[in-house]
């Protein structure tokens, strides 16, 4: 029997006073109810990664530091991801991009979805830029995206209070993400079998 898919919900901000943790917890609570995969929040702040300090490019797979190896091991166990990103200067947070760039193979042939939040654009510009980064890492990002506005989905710009209408979008996101994550698990397994037979 195939084990359940595992999806990591990555909090993409380490900033003091961040609200991304509230968004990630909301996504996890409802995704675990709406989907069939196991959803787990992953906090990049807990990984305590410095500014990228690996001398060799991540695509070589030769990680020098313990913090990199620990991060790689954590990410490797997931079949897909929900990236919860804020928007800084029309881009994802530097902390998220830094965490993504530390490793490579552990992201490959997995599915990704994006949940953004921000002020006037609800983080959509950051999400658009994040998609190109995910493509370079061979993460297949799904079309459906959740975008939350500080003006409509937060009380006093600090307490997450999303409307019920977002649940229908989350359901679509979960359906697409789990479908792609399941298919890409098959891709990874086929590659392992081919390598073993070579």
- The 10s digit of each residue's pLDDT in 7-25 is 999 999 999 999 999 999 9
Helix (H, G, I), strand (E, B) or coil at 89: coil
Asked if 163 and 124 touch (Cβ cutoff 8 Å), the reply is no
In this predicted structure, what is the pLDDT of residue 2? 77
First to last CA, the chain: 26
Residues 6+ apart with CB under 8 A from 167: 30, 34
pLDDT in tens, 45-58: 999 999 999 999 99
6-197 belongs to CATH 3.40.50.360: yes
Q: What's the Cα-to-Cα distance from 76 to each of 15, 68, 82, 101, 105, rounded to whole Å?
A: 25, 12, 14, 14, 8
Mean pLDDT of 164-172: 97
Q: What is the pTM of this model?
A: 0.96
Tokens standing for 168? 């229908």
With H, G, I as helix, E, B as strand and everything else as coil, classify residue 156.
Answer: coil
Q: How far is CA 70 from CA 19, 73, 91, 103, 169, in A?
A: 25, 5, 27, 11, 33
- 3 is written with which tokens? 């084990």
- Predicted pLDDT at 120: 84
Distances (CA, A) of 154 to 115, 147, 158: 15, 12, 6
d(CA 180, CA 24): 20
Q: How far is CA 54 from CA 2, 103, 107, 130, in A?
A: 35, 10, 17, 22
Q: Using an 8 Å Cβ cutoff, are 60 and 92 in contact? A: no
pLDDT digits (tens, 9 = 90+) for 86-115: 999 999 999 999 999 999 999 999 999 999
């Amino acid at each position: 029997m195939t084990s359940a898919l595992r999806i990591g919900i990555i909090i993409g901000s380490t900033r003091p006073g961040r609200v991304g943790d509230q968004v990630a917890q909301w996504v996890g609570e409802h995704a675990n109810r709406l989907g069939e995969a196991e959803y787990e929040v992953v906090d990049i702040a807990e990984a305590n990664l410095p500014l990228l300090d690996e001398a060799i490019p991540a695509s070589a797979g030769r990680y020098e530091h313990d913090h990199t190896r620990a991060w790689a091991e954590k990410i490797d166990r997931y079949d897909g991801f929900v990236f919860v990103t804020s928007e800084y200067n029309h881009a994802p947070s530097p902390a998220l991009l830094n965490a993504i760039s530390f490793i490579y193979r552990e992201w490959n042939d997995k599915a990704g979805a994006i949940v953004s939040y921000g002020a006037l654009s609800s983080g959509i510009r950051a999400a658009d830029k994040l998609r190109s980064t995910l493509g370079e890492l061979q993460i297949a990002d799904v079309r459906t995206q959740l975008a939350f506005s500080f003006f409509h989905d937060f009380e006093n710009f600090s307490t997450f209070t999303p409307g019920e209408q977002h649940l229908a979008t989350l359901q679509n996101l979960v359906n697409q993400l789990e479908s792609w994550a399941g298919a890409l698990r098959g891709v990874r397994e086929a590659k392992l079998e081919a390598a073993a037979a070579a």
